[in-house]
Amino acid sequence: MRLWLISYDMSDDRQRRAMEKLLYGFGEKVNFTVFECALRAEQFKRLWQAMTELIDPATDSLRAYPICIWCEERVRFQGRGRKPGLPIDWIL
């Protein structure tokens, strides 16, 4: 299991809503077009494939940043929402 920070910038409103709906099934929305997702390798692979099918590479941007467990401990958090990270019961 790894924590991923996924962001997207899409010009088409319909496609942007489809991306948001897709990502809600995998993680938590932390900003307008930014999600944190705790995923297994095979989940990320399937999600990445589905996300790339929603974007237009000529006008849109899609990024996924892996956050290692050591870096995750150093994430700074302030304001609404919950502290990012893997749920406690997922950490062995």
The structural architecture, per CATH, of the domain 2-75 is 2-Layer Sandwich (3.30)
pLDDT in tens, 40-68: 999 999 999 999 999 999 999 999 999 87
Domain assignments of the chain as residue spans, ordered by start: 2-75
- Residue 92's SS3 state is coil
Q: If you write DSSP's letter for every residue of 4-48 in order, what string do you get?
A: EEEEEE-S-HHHHHHHHHHHHTTSEEEETTEEEEEE-HHHHHHHH
C-alpha–C-alpha distance, residues 2 and 41, integer Å: 8
Residue 91 pLDDT exceeds 60:
no
For 65-76, what is the mean pLDDT? 76
What pLDDT was estimated at residue 69?
Answer: 73
Verdict on whether the full-model pTM lies above 0.95:
no
Given the DSSP bridges, would you call strands 61-67 and 34-39 parallel, antiparallel or unpaired?
unpaired
